Amino acid sequence: MSEVLDLVIIGAGPAGMTAAIYASRAQMKFVILEKAFPGGQITNTYEIENYPGIKTASGFELTTMMQEHVTHFGIEIKTEDVEDVLLNETIKTVKTSANTYQAKTVILAMGATWKKLGIEGEEAFSGRGVSYCATCDGAFYRNKTTMVVGGGDVAVEDAIYLARMCEKVYLVHRRDELRAVKVLQEKLFELENVETIWDSELIKIEGDQFVNKAEIMNKKTGDSRQIDADGVFIAVGSNPNTEFVRGKVDMDQGGYIATGENCMTNIEGVFAAGDLRQKSLRQVITACGDGATAVYSAERFI
């Protein structure tokens, strides 16, 4: 068993990387563990214009800058998938596929993952016309017809992004108004090649080798119709990556972790930061704020 650390940070998205910068400056003994690439969800976003000091950047540029900031402090982000945690003892245990770590405090910063619709054709055509990331796959649909499903910020951003390269974009939303912020809605409604289909749900995705049709149903009339589409982008929200802490810390029915204003969970010495936490606004800036707060609280806890 290795030495007892001050802190283990799980996840290297904006929340985890901010926590690492703060922990380094606080001279804590810590590790930061990331199962994939540092950066988290934002990595694939084409444009961010709501992070103060950076008027506009792609998600990749912003997270690369964050990563460079982390390595500037001599911190290594370890590529390890956390599989289990034991949190109730004074000294916490974090088990990855490769190692076991012990620490006085743990920051949970595993973020969230896109939700699926669970409809016919979604799984079968995943990667063959069904996508959850317009910025990753949009370029494959140049001059083609695409459909975006959802009504929040991400769905509207995706539709705006796709409109730049696609001949036609349908935005299918199950209500009669969008949830996205007004500035995005204004941008969307200015675009002539975007058609919003209200009160409707995508019920089936069809095709041969690749997607070529999407069936939608009007929720008010019950009428269904097929629309020719080469790509379907699903942007209906996300689920928190909290499976391995279920039953170990307090969370709501959706799996979002409950904390106080100091980011501490109901378990002493265990903190949650970023999108996996119960909160009203899930953005880069609030994730970074949580990362900083969680380290400040962890330091005081120790």
Select from 13-21, 136-144, 161-169, 194-202 the region that touches ligand FAD (CB under 6 A).
Answer: 13-21
Does the footprint of ligand FAD cover residue 15 (CB under 6 A)?
yes
Q: Which is nearer to ligand FAD, 217 or 272 (CB)?
A: 272
Length of the chain (residues): 302
Residues involved in catalysis: 133, 136-137
Strands (E), 132-275: 145-149, 168-172, 194-197, 200-207, 211-218, 224-228, 231-234, 238-240, 270-272
Contact predicate 273/16, CB 8 Å? yes
Q: Which is nearer to ligand FAD, 136 or 267 (CB)?
A: 136
Select from 104-112, 220-228, 247-255, 263-271 the region that touches ligand FAD (CB under 6 A).
Answer: 104-112
Subset of 281-300 contacting ligand FAD (CB under 6 A): 282-285, 287
Bridge partners (DSSP) listed for residue 270: 106
Does the footprint of ligand FAD cover residue 81 (CB under 6 A)?
yes
Does the footprint of ligand FAD cover residue 45 (CB under 6 A)?
yes
Select from 67-75, 108-116, 186-194, 293-301 the region that touches ligand FAD (CB under 6 A).
Answer: 108-116
Q: Cα–Cα distance between 68 and 155 in angstroms, integer?
A: 30
Helix (H, G, I), strand (E, B) or coil at 145: strand
Q: Cα–Cα distance between 242 and 13 in angstroms, integer?
A: 15
Give the DSSP letter string of 82-102: EEEEE-SSSSEEEEESS-EEE
Q: Which is nearer to ligand FAD, 28 or 82 (CB)?
A: 82
Site residues for ligand FAD per CB under 6 A:
10-16, 33-36, 40-42, 45, 48, 50, 81-82, 109-112, 154, 157, 241, 274-275, 282-285, 287
